[in-house]
Structure formats: structure tokens, C-alpha cells
Amino acid sequence: MIGHAPDSPEQEHIDEIQAAAARVERTLLMIPGPTAIAPEVLAAGARPVLSHNDPLMRSFVAESLARLRGLFDAPSSQPIICAGSGTLAMEIGLANLIEPGDRVLILESGVFAGRFRTIADRNRAEVRVESAPLGRSIDLDQVKRAIETFRPKVVTITHVDTSTGVRLDVQPLARLARERDALVVVDGVCSIGGEEFHGDAWGVDVAFTASQKAIGAPPGLAMITVGPRARAARENRRTEFPGYFTDFKNWLPVMEGYEAGTPAYFGTPAVTLLTMLHTALDEVVADPMSVRVARHAWIAAAFKAGIAALGIQNVAAADCNANTLTVALTPEGVGDELVDAVRVEGVTLANAIHPELRGRSFRVGHMGVCGPAEILTTLGAIERALHRLGQRVQFGASLAAAQGILAEPPARVHSRPTPAGLPPIRA
Ligand code: PMP
């Protein structure tokens, strides 16, 4: 809480809001994962449990694998789907490639790079971290110098970091890594399905996501694409791989089996979640990637314009502001109680997770099943919440700004600049 003495009337009001928020049962879920899911996906989860060898289940998995290959635009890769969250995907994706003493260069644009670091440390790799300033993209010359001097075996990139809303430009970063024969691992947990992604063309060796973000399925499935160079790195290890559930070699043949019509078994698949994923992917692949990305960009531009009209500042700079979420600073004098107050208005947002943004920012997911209705409802709820918290609000200002963008066709909005991010960071 910011700026209120414990017993002040303002504090009492905030306490009331927090108590009311705890009582709200049905809300519009607008956090950056898990995201709301479509009724068809929900209904798919109500199907009786199938055998993982049932012909229907086999076809669901085989089709989902093929669709993921398309979604990651990585025809040369073998996708893996297994039960677990994005963090498991990170561990499977990175750990297979590294042996003790191998060098891993981690490009940091927010807190999720820290997980790559821990995974690399625990596999006894030598780690170097190159960081972007808060809310900014990483400097290409800085990365080039680090690759030249450190000569990493693996470079990790967080495509969209969910703690800052920063989207890194994967293509030039991957190119720099490839020029020096490094393997490229991309965390696409908060990007795949909502941002442009071309795994093979960009030279990505491993990419991954999780079911609960832009794909629009419930949490619980990790999805990883493994390219030929990544596979060779696992095959050619000098030392035994200490992982078991995380071993590429246990998963790749099972996934290939599903696609070849000869399913094998390693760990009971999460059949109900797989059924829901299959239905969610129906919608994800219904349009070409460019159309889906344009829709996300359109929604993001409308939301970001809406909050800018309230004088609320984005954390990510305009040139690296993600389509999938917004991380924004709370107005002066308002802290984490904003999220509670918005919840009372019927919408669930998330507080900051970045240590430098805690208590002074909030996060909104606008990916997957999210359209104009959700954006306008959320902006309206933010306006009322700010009013409740004593801020001066011109009702409708954010909605009008968003409407101005929503009234344009998505394709035209695609390349339009988003509002400016944080002012230049002090040294
Ligand atoms: N990477 C990114 C970019 C994420 O946003 C998240 C989750 N918010 C993770 C990794 C970890 O995923 P999970 O919480 O599903 O383990």
C-alpha cells in the first residue's frame, strides 16, 4: 500500500475494497495467464476420460503436434507435449542441451530470465547474463560483444517477458547466436499464439510455451519444439543426462509415435487437458498466423491507448511493447490496492512480479480469447476503481481512446506505434 497512514480514512476505504474483492466470485479473468478459455474448450473438458491409446485420443495428439509445428513455424522440429507448466518446458528445453562447464548466455529482459539462470546453474553450466534496461529491448551490439567474448554453447531469449511486457526481437538475436554456432533457446510462454514467430526461419533450436496463455487452454500442459541441432546436442552428450522426466530421449519417440500412428508410452498423458488443448488449437490455427497476430496487435493497441488516455504509463517502450500483455505503472499515490479495487468492479488483473515494479504497477493479459468486449469492460472497471480510490477520472476517456482504435480494421492498426514506455532509465 502506498502513502496512507494505517488508520487513515483512506486506509479504511482500501481495507473495505480488499474485503469486498475477496467476496467477488465471478470475474472477468484478465491476467497474463491463466487466461479465460472459450466455452467449447471448457465443454471439451467435460468429455469422459479417454484411454491415451484410444483412436480418438491418438488423433487429438497427432493433430495437436502437427498444429504446434505450424504455430511455432518450425517444420524441421519435433514438438513435445507433456503435463507440466511453462517452467517444466524451460527445464526440458534448456537442460538437455548443457553439460557441466558448457557456457550459457542468458539475455535478460525481466524476471523470467532468472529461471533460465537457475536451470543452467543447477546443470553446472558457466553462466553469463546480459541485461536490458527495465522496459527496454536489449542492445544488439552488447549481445554481439558478449557472444564474441564468451562464446556460449547456448543463448537463451525470453520472447515476451511477463514481468515487464517487453518483447525482444528474436530474429536478429538468434542470428548473432547462430553466426557463432550457438544453440538458440526461446521462451515463448507469453508470446506463442499472440506474437509473430518463425522458429525455422529465425534459426531457433528449441522453443516452448504453456497451455494457459495465448493458446487459450487451461494450465497444465508444456509444449516444446526440438529442432535437429538441439536433438544432436542431446545425442552427442559426453556426460549422462541427469534428468529422467525431462529427457528429450524419453519424449521424442513417444511424440513421433503418435504422429506415425504407433503410439508408445512414457508417463500417462494428461488426456483431459489434451482434449481441451486440441479444441483450443482449432481456434488458434483457424486463421493464418499473420491474421491472429494482427488481431492481438489491434486489441493490445486499443488497450494501451485506453490506459494512456487515463495518464497511466506503460513500462515497455513503444518499440518493444508486447501484444499479449500490458505492464503499466499505477498513478501517483495508488499501489497494489488498484488490482483489488478493479476486482470489485468485476475484472481480475495481476500485480507486479518484477522487484523494481512491485507496489507501483499492474499487469493485464490480453491474449487468447480476448476481444473488444473484454478490453472495454476492463478499461471501464479500471476507471471506476481509480475513482473509488480517490483519483480524478474523466469517465469514458479510456473507452473513447480504445474505441478509436477498435473502430479501425485490425490490419491497419498492426504497425501503428503504441504509447511511449518508461522515461529513460537513470544510470
Ligand atoms: N516464462 C514466461 C515468460 C512466463 O510468463 C512464465 C509464466 N508466467 C513462465 C516462463 C513460467 O511458466 P509457468 O508459470 O507456467 O511455470
- Local confidence band at 226 (pLDDT 50, 70, 90 cut-offs): very high
Q: What is the pLDDT of residue 8?
A: 83
Give me the residues paired with residue 29 across strands: 348
Report the pLDDT averaged over residues 47-60: 95
Dist. CA 384 → ligand 1 center (Å)? 30
84 lines ligand 1 (CB under 6 A): no
Report the pLDDT averaged over residues 174-181: 98
Q: What is the pLDDT of residue 410?
A: 78
158 lines ligand 1 (CB under 6 A): yes
- The CA distance from 299 to 94, in Å, is 32
Minimum CA distance residue for ligand 1 atom 12: 86
- Local confidence band at 68 (pLDDT 50, 70, 90 cut-offs): very high
Give the C-alpha distances (Å, rounded to integers) separating 130 from 41, 73, 103, 207, 374.
Answer: 40, 27, 13, 20, 37
Minimum CA distance residue for ligand 1 atom 7: 86
CB 170 within 8 A of CB 44: no
85 lines ligand 1 (CB under 6 A): yes
Closest ligand 1 atom to 87 CA:
16
- Residue 413 above 80 pLDDT? no
- Residue 298 above 90 pLDDT? yes
Closest ligand 1 atom to 188 CA:
3
Closest ligand 1 atom to 159 CA:
3
- The CA distance from 308 to 222, in Å, is 35
Closest ligand 1 atom to 219 CA:
15
pLDDT-wise least confident of 187-191, 202-206, 261-265, 379-383: 261-265
Report the pLDDT averaged over residues 107-134: 98
Minimum CA distance residue for ligand 1 atom 14: 86
Q: What is the pLDDT of residue 266?
A: 95
- The CA distance from 239 to 99, in Å, is 7
Report the pLDDT averaged over residues 32-59: 96
Closest ligand 1 atom to 32 CA:
8
Q: What is the pLDDT of residue 96?
A: 98
- Local confidence band at 425 (pLDDT 50, 70, 90 cut-offs): very low
Q: Among 90, 107, 109, 112, say which to mutate for ligand 1: greatest number of ligand atoms within 8 Å of CB.
A: 112
156 lines ligand 1 (CB under 6 A): no
Give the C-alpha distances (Å, rounded to integers) separating 211 from 25, 68, 72, 265, 368.
Answer: 24, 11, 14, 21, 10
Dist. CA 387 → ligand 1 center (Å)? 33
Concatenating the DSSP letter of every residue in 119-169 gives HHHHTT-EEEEEEPPTTSPPPHHHHHHHHHHH--SEEEEESEETTTTEE--
- Local confidence band at 418 (pLDDT 50, 70, 90 cut-offs): low
Between 427 and 149, where is the model more confident? 149
- Residue 1 above 50 pLDDT? no
33 lines ligand 1 (CB under 6 A): yes
Q: What is the pLDDT of residue 412?
A: 65
- Local confidence band at 409 (pLDDT 50, 70, 90 cut-offs): confident
Kindly report the pTM of this predicted structure: 0.95
Averaged pLDDT score across all residues of the chain: 94
161 lines ligand 1 (CB under 6 A): yes
Among residues 370, 348, 363, the alpha carbon closest in space to that of 298 is found at 370
187 lines ligand 1 (CB under 6 A): yes
**pLDDT tens digits, 235-271:** 999 999 999 999 999 999 999 999 999 988 999 999 9
Dist. CA 86 → ligand 1 center (Å)? 5
- Residue 291 above 90 pLDDT? yes
- The CA distance from 195 to 169, in Å, is 11
Dist. CA 143 → ligand 1 center (Å)? 23
361 lines ligand 1 (CB under 6 A): no
Report the pLDDT averaged over residues 5-19: 82
Percent of the residues in the chain that have a pLDDT greater than 90, as a whole number: 89
Dist. CA 127 → ligand 1 center (Å)? 21
- Residue 414 above 70 pLDDT? no
- Local confidence band at 21 (pLDDT 50, 70, 90 cut-offs): confident
Concatenating the DSSP letter of every residue in 101-116 gives T-EEEEEESSTTHHHH
220 lines ligand 1 (CB under 6 A): no
CB 95 within 8 A of CB 224: no
**Which set of grid coordinates corresponds to residue 83?**
503435463
108 lines ligand 1 (CB under 6 A): no
